[in-house]
Structure 1
Amino acid sequence: MTDEPVTSEPLSDPAVRVSGAEEIAPDLLVIPNHRVALVPNIGVIGGTDAVLVVETGIGTANAEQVLAFASEVAKGRRLYLTTTHFHPEHAFGAQVFAGRATYLVNRAQADDLSTKGAGYLEMFRAFGGHVAHRLDGVQVPTPDVVYDDDACDLDLGGRTVRLRPTGRGHTKGDQVVEVPDAGVLFTGDLAETGQFAIFPWFPPYDTDVSGVRWLTVMDRLAATGPRVVVPGHGDPGGPQVLTDVRDYLRELRDETWRRRDSAMGEAEIVAEVRALLIDRHPEWAGQEWIERGVGCLCAEHAV
């Protein structure tokens, strides 16, 4: 995949804490990530007949906790699992659910798992420490059910959950999870709170992230007006979560393209845009992602 880790900073243990689960609507819980790096927000969505788990956490030990928690919530109801995209902290615990839950994803995400999963497993293991330990014994997951890239309405009994691919954005295979009766939207890493947008821009190994298309996706999602938005990482919030991310992506695009089109070199563009955006958003984490975003947008054109 790549010889260089995403960040050189030591990472804390990416442990999921199921004891912190919060009910944000009837029979709809979120296990929050508590702003711990490489821990996603995880959903447990119930109907009268079945329960859907959204995300696994990174590695088998985290996934075992999530499965045990979901099984307790389900109390005999059928279990389903889905993931918003193929990255390890979201999907690389799915093997634990084999035989216990039906794992279903959109076709583009399944393609990402099969073509890029092994490379990302290698890259994340290279972080060493807690992350490598969490990935001991992990295998790239294989979904049980793959649906074509339109949408999949999953009937949980008295509650229908819509799995909706968004098209290329943060990854090629992004999928959002909508709970229409509760007005809840799980975005995966299309949206975060309290940090700069995550751009997995690793040329020549992975260049599927698209800042231009991501911005289009956020325009569409913002227009749906959900009551609660559960981001991939950070605190859940209202519809402002979506517009904040959209506005940041527009800001990143405009500042990058203004300099690119004036024939500045990429290193100089990175330095100027990074300083500008940190000054505008000094409280946000993930400053290393600004450079990746600039690189991506320097290579992109309007579509």
Structure 2
Amino acid sequence: MEVADRVLVRRYAELDLSVGLVMGDGGCLVVDTRGDERQGAELAAEVRRITRDPWTVVITHSHFDHSFGTRPFLECAVWAQEGCRTDLIEGGAGTKDTWARRYREEGRPGIADDIEKTDIVLPDHLVTDRAELAVGGRRVVMAHFGRGHSSNDLVVHVPDAGVVFAGDLVENGAPPAYGDAYPLEWPTAVDGLLGLTGDGDVIVPGHGDPVDRAFVIAQHAEIAALAGLCEEVAAGWMHVQDAVRLSPYPEDTTRTALRRSAEP
């Protein structure tokens, strides 16, 4: 779907993943590459049906479903937050094993095989806090507002279109995923994202359909409320069961956030 002038979003049934394409004059930007080389090749073919312009890739964070499909796009620049490269080096092989095993247990050996055969591509253009690209003459801003859903969340802003690709800092259709998160810092990261947006802008979550600024403000309030509960439990002022009862999210999500907030 085209969410703004020459800014497209494609939503996949697998993990309800949303990826993006920003087109300019003589160049384009692919936002996230899906979860394995076969899926990445499918995405690359779809992009080539739309444009033959040279592409650049940006990865919103290191989690496999957003980053493992990059190889079919080479040779091109691959941008990411610097922690993404570190995470893929240190944890990529383990992630492949974990998700391949999970898909096999779910009776989906084809995806498991595809993940096992995937060659993880490391980003070669690294962002610390902020960087800008010219994509076919269009300005694109990449910003890291601190740890949140992961250690290396990168927001991609297309100012002339009023579109922000949020990665998994924003979730539509399911509770935010805290398995690799930093619950106490996540609200600050979303604050930074909101600072890029205005009324009428489109925010593209890493999963689910695009949303508006009001949706993100409401989700920020939930994330901040859960962060507050995590702080109270950590300080000994509240029992875990009370935090579960008061949380805006389901019990398993809340317990995961409480566990992550207690880790060093």
> Given the two structures, how large is their TM-score scaled by the length of structure 2?
0.88
Shift in Å at residue 181 of structure 1?
0.3
Paired residues of 1:191 and 1:197 also in contact (CA < 8 A): yes
Q: Partner of 1:68 in structure 2?
A: 45
Task: Identify unmatched segments of 5+ residues in structure 2.
Answer: none
Map 1:30-45 onto structure 2 (within 5 A): 30-34=9-13, 36-37=14-15, 39-45=16-22
Residues 86-114 of structure 1 deviation map (CA, whole Å, 9 limit, x = unaligned): 11100011112223x33222322111111
Q: Secondary structure of the residue that 1:241 maps to in structure 2?
A: helix
Match of 1:196 among 130, 152, 175: 175
Shift in Å at residue 253 of structure 1?
1.9
Alignment partners' CA distance in 2, 1:32 and 1:71: 17
Map 1:131-280 onto structure 2 (within 5 A): 131-143=111-123, 145-201=124-180, 209-226=181-198, 227-262=201-236, 269=240, 271-277=241-247, 280=248
Segment drifting more, 188-197 vs 220-229:
220-229
Q: 1:89 to 1:287 in 2, by over 3 A?
A: farther
Aligned length: 257
Q: CA RMSD in A?
A: 2.1
Alignment partners' CA distance in 2, 1:288 and 1:106: 29
Shift in Å at residue 275 of structure 1?
4.0
Pair 1:289-2:253 in alignment: yes
Match of 1:79 among 55, 74, 80: 55
Residues 130-182 of structure 1 deviation map (CA, whole Å, 9 limit, x = unaligned): 34134141122122x32341322111123111122222222221111110001
Map 1:6-155 onto structure 2 (within 5 A): 22-34=1-13, 36-37=14-15, 39-75=16-52, 77-99=53-75, 101-127=76-102, 128=104, 129-130=107-108, 131-143=111-123, 145-155=124-134
Paired residues of 2:184 and 2:230 also in contact (CA < 8 A): no
Alignment partners' CA distance in 2, 1:258 and 1:180: 38
Residues 241-290 of structure 1 deviation map (CA, whole Å, 9 limit, x = unaligned): 321221111111223333443456xxx61x4433443xx56xxxx76332
Residues 177-218 of structure 1 deviation map (CA, whole Å, 9 limit, x = unaligned): 1100011001111110132211124xxxxxxx3112211111
Alignment partners' CA distance in 2, 1:173 and 1:258: 26
Q: Secondary structure of the residue that 2:137 maps to in structure 1?
A: coil
Alignment partners' CA distance in 1, 2:244 and 2:179: 17
Q: 1:296 to 1:136 in 2, by over 3 A?
A: closer
Task: Identify unmatched segments of 5+ residues in structure 1.
Answer: 1-21, 202-208
Q: 1:228 to 1:148 in 2, by over 3 A?
A: closer
